[in-house]
């Protein structure tokens, strides 16, 4: 996760968090292959259908995998970029050593549980960005560092499945240090015997030294052929997923179809949805984001047109979106004052969340009470009232990419629902 380690590539890459122990030479980042899929993490691990990219291999399927950074259950509170599936990847030598450790533990009635393995560079960057955003620069160096053996695919974070290890994974304190507690010692002895080097400041972190290993920024995908829901003749699709119906934090990935095949056009980014999660039966004021497949009406914002192909409307202080179900103008952009035409409306001149936004074509029939003003807009770092929000620079790139000629859609919902469409 986050501790001073071995690799000195932050100077070249402006990276982030890491793990390790002794210094290494400056390394370079290998090219990023196109991502292929998203998938909700689980605590089980099956061998994927396709080979792993970048010289990595899959951890043996007999070893359970539960990647914490593919979920919101980690110190940042959100899935990290590049973690698109619960798939444990390592360099071949590291994967072989891990299987040796598992065999030894199973012989004594125990089992490993992998919490992190190969980590894309973009995820490491996100860790440091989180520290800056939370004003916790004190963590950078001692716990969150820009040197990561995980980026090389030669480090793994593991625990003993179902055992008390004495402290939580990713603890920013001395409680994370190896303290020779019985289960910590069992784990360490097995990993060292298999060829790993321990890291005293984090009882869960182990690594092997692989000459010539270079950092990778390859997204972790399911390895299966990408399957998107039926989206008609659309060749641009934005997919927003959360782990459950009530989850408020998930991921967004943009895909484009070329030569009959869907490809990710950018890495997965953190997305926030309504403060009550998703619903297929949204109603006004419920704090839920409507699950389903929708098009885009137009783009707008307080800032000037960023170069989108969508129709773009720059807002003024009198622009509103009517959210009064009793108004004949319900779910429409209007200009105030209301003069009795509506009792409530969303103010559109909001320089932070609506610096840039795209209006999602939800409830275009304007059925009273079924929900209004559903946008893809700039994130404020927390759940929305029903919209989807992502960080500003990514939103701008997506707005420039969206092309009405390709009939873009947004697919939204918990992963179980999206996969059933």
The residues annotated as belonging to the active site are 202
| DSSP 8-class letter at 49 | S
Phi and psi at residue 316, to the nearest 5°: -125, 175
Q: From residue 326, how far is each of 208, 217, 284, 373, 377 by CA, in Å? A: 65, 51, 11, 15, 26
Six-digit token pair at 79? 């899935």
User: Would you tell me how many other CB atoms lie within 10 Å of the CB of residue 22?
Assistant: 8
Six-digit token pair at 404? 């009405």
Check: CB of residue 407 under 8 Å from CB of residue 232. Answer: yes
Tell me the residue length of the chain: 421
The residues facing 164 across adjacent strands are none
Six-digit token pair at 318? 């009198």
CA–CA separation, 56 and 269 (whole Å): 23
Check: CB of residue 40 under 8 Å from CB of residue 239. Answer: no
Q: Which of 110, 171, 122 is nearest to 142 (CA)?
A: 171
List the end-to-end C-alpha distance of the chain, in Å, as a whole number.
35
Residue spans of beta strands (DSSP E) within 93-140: 112-116
* Degrees to nearest 5, angle at CA 242 with 153 and 246: 140
Tell whether omega for the bond before 337 is within 30 degrees of 0, i.e. cis. Answer: yes
The CA-based dihedral angle spanning residues 370, 374, 379, 384, taken in that order and rounded to the nearest 10 degrees: -10
CA–CA separation, 347 and 326 (whole Å): 18
CA–CA separation, 55 and 67 (whole Å): 20
Alpha helices, DSSP H, located in 151-281: 182-194
């Amino acid at each position: 996760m986050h501790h001073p380690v071995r690799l000195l590539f932050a100077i070249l890459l402006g990276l982030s968090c890491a793990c390790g122990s002794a210094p290494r030479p400056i390394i370079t980042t290998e090219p990023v292959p196109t991502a292929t899929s998203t998938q909700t993490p689980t605590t089980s691990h099956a061998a994927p259908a396709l080979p792993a990219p970048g010289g990595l291999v899959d951890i043996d399927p007999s070893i359970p995998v539960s990647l914490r950074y593919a979920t919101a259950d980690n110190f940042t509170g959100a899935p990290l970029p590049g973690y698109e599936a619960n798939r444990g990847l390592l360099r071949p030598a590291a994967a072989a050593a891990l299987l040796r450790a598992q065999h030894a533990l199973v012989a004594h009635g125990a089992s490993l549980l992998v919490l992190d393995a190969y980590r894309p560079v973009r995820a490491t960057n996100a860790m440091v960005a989180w520290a800056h955003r939370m004003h916790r620069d004190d963590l950078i160096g001692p716990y969150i560092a820009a040197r990561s053996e995980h980026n090389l695919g030669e480090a793994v974070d593991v625990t003993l499945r179902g055992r008390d290890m004495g402290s939580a994974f990713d603890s920013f304190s001395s409680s994370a240090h190896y303290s020779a507690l019985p289960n910590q010692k069992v784990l360490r002895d097995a990993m060292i015997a298999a060829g790993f080097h321990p890291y005293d400041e984090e009882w869960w972190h182990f690594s092997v030294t692989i000459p010539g290993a270079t950092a990778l920024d390859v997204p972790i995908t399911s390895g299966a052929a990408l399957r998107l829901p039926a989206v008609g003749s659309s060749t641009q699709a934005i997919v927003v997923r959360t782990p459950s119906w009530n989850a408020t934090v998930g991921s967004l990935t943009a895909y484009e179809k070329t030569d009959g095949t869907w490809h990710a056009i950018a890495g997965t980014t953190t997305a926030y949805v309504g403060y009550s999660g998703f619903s297929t039966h949204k109603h006004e004021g419920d704090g839920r984001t409507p699950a389903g497949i929708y098009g885009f009406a137009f783009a707008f914002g307080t800032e000037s047109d960023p170069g989108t192909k969508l129709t773009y409307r720059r807002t003024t202080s009198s622009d509103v979106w009517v959210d009064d179900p009793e108004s004949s103008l319900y779910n429409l952009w209007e200009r105030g004052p209301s003069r009795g035409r509506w009792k409530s409306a969303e103010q559109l001149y909001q320089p932070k969340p609506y610096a840039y936004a795209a209006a999602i074509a939800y409830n275009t029939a304007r059925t009273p009470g079924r929900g209004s003003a559903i946008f893809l807009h700039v994130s404020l770092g927390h759940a929305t009232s029903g919209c989807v929000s992502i960080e500003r620079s990514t939103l701008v790139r997506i707005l420039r990419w969206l092309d009405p000629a390709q009939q873009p859609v947004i697919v939204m919902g918990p992963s179980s629902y999206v996969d059933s469409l």
